[in-house]
């Protein structure tokens, strides 16, 4: 298959891969869909081409401000190289991404590069509900899905975010947010976290009222009942958020909530509930290379993928963040997820191993590498994590880590 494009609202992506099946959609189909072909999941473009998404997160002209200096060295470098011309930067960046074999974007992309013929997902950030007041959450980073205003909040947010893009054929679909804490605050047993937080809430809190109603007026219940309550939380979350999106955008995929690792769903019931409402199940995972095998803790990642596929009834899985870091980048790499290696050569080896072990997995419909650019040495100015790691395909000067980008190119070329 030669390079392809869609000629509708915008060009969806440019590829030079030959192993992907070409599929014919029903007449009038104008949006990216997912289908299983020959036992493997693919995204399907509006003109009928099957592809597996190879994305990169946070492809941004502005880069990241350093928490200590307030400067973005990458933005300053771009200003010097491109005289502030963001379109020239976007053209240069898009050319690099295509050369390395990427065909789509992840979250956080600058609009200029998103307009360069790449398909990309977007967010409806339902998690912001927790910021509106103390009783709008159940523990940290999980919205109070039992609050009387939850349904109306989701409806309003979906209308604001989705209506304007309902006809956009380059939009891959919608994420429901990012890395919700399905385990709550971590009190007690991990898989009961939301139950424990709701049980600990003050009297009159909507989540506690829902729990007491569900449990017959007591919090002293069996583990199976605690799990059932967490499942009820998932049902409220996915049914309301997905229902709101579907009211205002029937055209695009719902890409899940970007679970925080495979354990980020806390229990299998949460993943199963997500599969009832989402078209794709997304999760972020930072594995390790251990004795040549990509593992999460001590378990091969391929085994975890098989388990997740079983949990979600065979629906397509998308890995929406993954990465490795190396200390020879000169960055502290003291905060943030991911295995710390010593050199870019070791980092490239880990990247190649990851790609080799998921490349032919029939359950994986795509993956997004985290990310385009390194974090600043003084830590991220935004957020509370202070991340300062070597996550990038390029450094703050815009210079590629060639061993890493060559690992991507070699693997993607091997898929031809």
Give residue 20's pLDDT.
30
Strand order in the sheet with 317-321: 53-56, 364-369, 317-321, 281-284, 259-260
Name the nearest CA neighbour of 182 among 278, 296, 267, 272.
Answer: 267
Residue 13: predicted pLDDT: 32
CA–CA gap between residue 15 and residue 93 (Å, rounded):
15
**Which of 3-17, 83-97, 333-347 shows the lowest mean pLDDT across its residues?**
3-17
Residue 313 has pLDDT above 80, yes or no: yes
Q: Which of 186, 238, 184 is nearest to 211 (CA)?
A: 184
Count of Cβ atoms closer than 10 Å to residue 26 Cβ: 7
Query: Can you give the residue ranges of every domain in the chain?
Result: 1-51, 54-414
CA dihedral sign, ordered 5, 348, 281, 111: negative
Residue 11 has pLDDT above 90, yes or no: no
- Name the region of 386 (left: φ>0; alpha: ψ -120 to 50; beta: rest): left
Strand 40-44 relative to strand 33-37, pairing: antiparallel
What is the dihedral angle through the alpha carbons of 396, 402, 404, 409, rounded to the nearest 10 degrees? 130
* pLDDT one-digit tens code per residue, 101-140: 999 999 999 999 999 999 999 999 999 886 655 568 898 8
The residues, ordered by sequence, that sit 6+ positions from 3 with a Cβ below 8 Å of its Cβ are 14, 15, 16
List phi, psi (to 5°) of 38. Answer: 55, 40
Residue at token pair 């991990």: 190
| Chain segment 12-64, per-residue pLDDT in tens | 333 322 223 222 333 445 899 999 999 999 999 999 999 999 999 999 999 99
Q: Of 21 and 289, which is predicted with more confidence? A: 289
Distance between CA 82 and CA 87 in Å, rounded?
9
Tell me the pLDDT tens digit for each residue of 164-208: 999 999 999 999 999 999 998 877 778 899 999 999 999 999 999
Rounded CA separation 106/120 (Å): 6
What local confidence, expressed as pLDDT, does residue 132 receive?
58
User: With contact defined as beta carbons under 8 Å apart, do 260 and 180 qualify?
Assistant: yes
pLDDT at 263: 83
d(CA 204, CA 132): 17
- Reported confidence tier of residue 152, pLDDT bands at 50, 70, 90: very high
Whether CATH 3.20.20.80 fits 54-414: yes
Q: What percent of the chain has pLDDT over 90?
A: 83
Range 395-412 average pLDDT: 98
Task: State pTM to two decimals.
Answer: 0.91
Q: What is the pLDDT of residues 367-390, one digit of tens each?
A: 999 999 999 999 998 865 789 999
- Locate 254 and state its tokens: 């719902």
pLDDT tops 70 at residue 2: no
Tokens of 325: 């870091």
Q: What is the pLDDT of residues 52-77, one digit of tens each?
A: 999 999 999 999 999 999 999 999 99
């Amino acid at each position: 298959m030669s390079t392809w494009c869609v000629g509708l609202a915008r060009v969806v992506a440019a590829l030079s891969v030959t192993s992907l099946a070409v599929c014919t959609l029903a007449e009038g189909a104008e949006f990216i869909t997912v289908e299983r072909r020959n036992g493997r999941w693919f995204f399907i473009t509006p003109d009928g081409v099957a592809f597996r998404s190879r994305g990169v997160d946070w492809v941004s002209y502005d880069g990241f401000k350093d928490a200590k200096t307030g400067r973005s060295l990458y933005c300053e470098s771009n200003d010097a190289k491109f005289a502030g011309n963001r379109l020239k930067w976007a053209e240069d960046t898009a050319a690099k991404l295509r050369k390395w074999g990427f065909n789509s974007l992840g979250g956080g992309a600058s609009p200029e590069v998103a307009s360069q013929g790449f398909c990309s997902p977007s967010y409806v950030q339902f998690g912001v509900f927790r910021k509106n007041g103390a009783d709008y959450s159940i523990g940290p980073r999980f919205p109070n899905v039992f609050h009387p205003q939850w349904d109306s909040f989701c409806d309003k947010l979906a209308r604001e975010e989705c209506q304007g893009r309902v006809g956009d054929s380059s939009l891959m679909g919608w994420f429901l947010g990012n890395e919700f804490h399905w385990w709550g605050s971590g009190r007690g047993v991990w898989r009961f976290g939301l139950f424990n937080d709701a049980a600990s809430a003050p009297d009159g809190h909507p989540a506690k009222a829902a729990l007491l109603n569900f449990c017959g007026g007591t919090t002293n219940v069996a583990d199976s009942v605690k799990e059932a309550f967490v499942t009820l939380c998932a049902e409220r979350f996915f049914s309301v958020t997905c229902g709101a999106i579907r009211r205002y955008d029937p055209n695009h995929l719902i890409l899940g909530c970007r679970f925080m690792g495979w354990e980020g769903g806390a229990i299998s019931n949460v993943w199963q509930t997500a599969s009832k409402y989402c078209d794709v199940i997304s999760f972020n995972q930072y594995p390790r290379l251990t004795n040549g095998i990509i593992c999460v803790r001590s378990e091969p990642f391929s085994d975890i993928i098989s388990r997740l596929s079983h949990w979600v009834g065979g629906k397509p899985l998308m890995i929406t963040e993954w990465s490795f870091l190396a200390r020879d980048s000169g960055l502290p790499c003291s905060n943030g997820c991911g295995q710390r290696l010593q050199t870019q050569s070791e980092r490239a080896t880990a990247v190649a191993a990851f790609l080799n072990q998921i490349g032919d997995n029939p359950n994986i419909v795509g993956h997004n590498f985290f990310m385009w650019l390194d974090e600043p040495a003084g830590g991220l100015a935004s957020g509370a994590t202070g991340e300062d790691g070597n996550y990038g395909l390029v450094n703050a000067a815009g210079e590629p880590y060639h061993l890493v980008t060559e690992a991507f190119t070699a693997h993607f070329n091997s898929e031809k």
